[in-house]
Structure 1
Amino acid sequence: MGVEVRVEGLTKAFGKQTIWRDVSLTLPAGQISVMLGPSGTGKSVFLKTLIGLIKPDEGHIFIEGVDIATCSEKDLYEIRKLFGVLFQDGAMFGSMTLFDNVAFPLREHTRKTESEISDIVMEKMTMVGLVGAEDKLPGEISGGMRKRAGLARALVLEPEIILFDEPDSGLDPVRTAFINQLMVDLNQQTEATFLIVTHDINTARTVPDNIGLLYHRHLSMFGPREMLLSSEEPAVRQFLNAQTVGPIGMSEEKDADELAAEDHSTLPPLPPIPLQLFPSDGRPRATQPEPGAWCAANGVVPPPGSFLDDGSSFTVPPQTSVAGGAR
């Protein structure tokens, strides 16, 4: 099972440039969370800060009772063992085969025999659909395969927290769909805590349990998927629904004249909230909420057509599990 990550009042600047300030959120144990934001808002910096590669100027990051923003190098080294990271380009060693790339963390950080390492590597490569490609070099395979190999490497130490830095970057829509399904399936199998940084709106709308939006040097909102997909907060609404009307412009934020010139009275209605992506076997993940549960609990009427099943609106009866409801 994954572990909770609690962030309190996190602030980071490089010189006079503030990246973000006073960021507070909790990544619930075992759940999938997505972090969104316009380009240049510090999403990758946030990931690097979570794992201790960058020290924040202010604030705290609590993982299993340890504040990695202030702890010793020894304690930080131990906490990092809880993490697995999928980098944007896979970050493969070009002169190593995929097998050796995936085996690298085991050879560096454990005392396992080569036979044990081989069993673990092949298990993880099976999980990501790369059996038969273990002897290939990174330069001999596609970008999507490199990402899957990077994911296999991130899994070999059985991490309880997995960070994904734009897993869909550079991929076509079909391969992005495969990566999304793979992440959902892996969360079901590992029950680890996932944080995904992405620009892909379809990923954000269908994959996570929680969504966050970094914008204008702060965290605009973080919470359950249904809360953000039904939100009328201007930046959240604009970004999640890919609209041009709103505070976000080509250079991140619009100036006052641009905003004043916009006609907000003609905003299109919020689109329906889609059903969340299920694991391939059709069984809900351990932490997967029921469709419409947040809306019902908070008295929010979702946009018309939300949670469709076989062409009709889906309503969650009280105390009814997802397994017996819509898919």
Structure 2
Amino acid sequence: MGVEVRVEGLSKSFGSQLIWGDVSLTLPAGEICVMLGPSGTGKSVFLKTLIGLLKPDKGHVHIEGVDIATCSERQLYEVRKLFGVLFQDGAMFGSMNLYDNVAFPLREHTKKSESEVRSIVMEKMEMVGLVGAERKLPGEISGGMRKRAGLARALVLEPEILLFDEPDSGLDPVRTAFLNQLIIDLNEMTQATCLIVTHDINTARTVPDNIGLLYHRHLAMFGPREMLLSSEEPVVRQFLNAQRIGPIGMSEEKDADELAAEADQELPPLPPIPIQQLPSSGVLRPTQRPPGQWCADNGVTPPPGSFASDVVTTQ
């Protein structure tokens, strides 16, 4: 089962440049979350701060009673064992075949025998559909296969928190759809807490339980998927619905002239909220809310046509 990650008042700068400040949110145990934001808003920096690769200037990250922003190196080493990370390019060792790449964390951090290592490695490679490719080198396979190999490696230590840094980067829409389904199925099987950093709007609208949006050096909003997809907040509405009208421009923020030119333009209506993607079993995950539940509980009328799909089977 996944664990809760609680972030309080987190700020990070590089020199005099503030990346983001006073970020507070909670990644609920066992749920899938997505972090969005225009390019350059520090999404990957946020992910690296969560695992202690970067130290924040202020704030706290609480995991299992440990504040990784202030803990000792020994405590950090132990907490990091809770994490599995899929980096943007898979981060494979080019001179090792896929089997040895996936086996590396087990050989580095455990005292398991080679027969135990083999059993675990082949189990994870089967989970990501790479059985038969274990002797190939990273340079001999496609980008999508490298992503899946990286995911298998992230899973071998049975992590309780899974981080995905732009897993769709460089993938075509079909491979992205397969990878999204794999993440959902893995969450159902492992119940790990998942955070996906992505630019893919379809992924953000259909996969997660919760969505966050980093913009203009702060966290614009974080909460249940339906809350953000029905939001009238200008920057949230613009980004999640891929609209030109709104505060975001080519250089992140539009200037006063651009905003003034849009003042008389009518905003397009919010598109329908789609059904959240189900695991391959066709059954709601333990942390997945039934369609429309958040809207009903909070008295929000969703956009017309929302949740139109086949009947969803509940547990």
TM score, norm. by length of structure 2: 0.98
Instruction: Give the Cα–Cα distance (whole angstroms) in 2 for the partners of residues 175 and 286 of structure 1.
Output: 26
2:296 is matched with which residue?
296
What does 1:17-32 align with in structure 2 at a 5 Å threshold?
17-32=17-32
Q: Does the 8 Å CA contact 1:245/1:264 hold for their aligned counterparts? A: no
Instruction: Give the Cα–Cα distance (whole angstroms) in 1 for the partners of residues 94 and 57 of structure 2.
Output: 35
SS of corresponding position for 1:290: coil
* CA drift at 1:263: 3.6
Q: Does the 8 Å CA contact 2:11/2:58 hold for their aligned counterparts? A: yes
Whether 1:126 aligns to 2:126 is: yes
Q: Which region of structure 1 is more displaced relative to structure 2, 99-108 or 248-257?
A: 248-257
Whether 1:14 aligns to 2:4 is: no
1:159 is matched with which residue?
159
Instruction: Give the Cα–Cα distance (whole angstroms) in 2 for the partners of residues 208 and 295 of structure 1.
Output: 16
1:306 is matched with which residue?
306
2:96 is matched with which residue?
96
What does 1:1-327 align with in structure 2 at a 5 Å threshold?
1-263=1-263, 265-310=265-310, 323-324=313-314
Instruction: Give the Cα–Cα distance (whole angstroms) in 2 for the partners of residues 102 and 34 of structure 1.
Output: 25
* CA drift at 1:283: 1.5
Kindly provide the CA deviation profile for residues 120-150 of structure 1, in whole angstroms up to 9, marking residues without a partner as x. Answer: 0000000001011001000010000000000
TM score, norm. by length of structure 1: 0.95
Instruction: Give the Cα–Cα distance (whole angstroms) in 2 for the partners of residues 183 and 84 of structure 1.
Output: 13
Identical counterparts, % of pairs? 82
Q: For structure 2, which runs of at least 5 residues remain unmatched after alignment?
A: none
* CA drift at 1:118: 0.2
Opposite residue 69 of structure 1, the aligned amino acid is: A
* CA drift at 1:266: 1.2
1:319 is matched with which residue?
none
Q: Does the 8 Å CA contact 2:290/2:314 hold for their aligned counterparts? A: no
Q: For structure 1, which runs of at least 5 residues remain unmatched after alignment?
A: 315-321
Kindly provide the CA deviation profile for residues 138-163 of structure 1, in whole angstroms up to 9, marking residues without a partner as x. Answer: 00100000000000000000000000
264 and 229 in structure 1: CA distance in 2 versus 1, 3 angstrom threshold: farther
Instruction: Give the Cα–Cα distance (whole angstroms) in 2 for the partners of residues 264 and 108 of structure 1.
Output: 61
Opposite residue 7 of structure 2, the aligned amino acid is: V
Q: Which region of structure 1 is more displaced relative to structure 2, 14-23 or 260-269?
A: 260-269
The alignment yields a C-alpha RMSD, in angstroms, of 1.0
324 and 212 in structure 1: CA distance in 2 versus 1, 3 angstrom threshold: closer
Kindly provide the CA deviation profile for residues 210-258 of structure 1, in whole angstroms up to 9, marking residues without a partner as x. Answer: 0000000000000000000000000000000000100000000111121
Q: Does the 8 Å CA contact 2:283/2:314 hold for their aligned counterparts? A: no
* CA drift at 1:309: 2.2
Kindly provide the CA deviation profile for residues 266-288 of structure 1, in whole angstroms up to 9, marking residues without a partner as x. Answer: 11100000000000111211111
Q: Does the 8 Å CA contact 1:211/1:223 hold for their aligned counterparts? A: yes
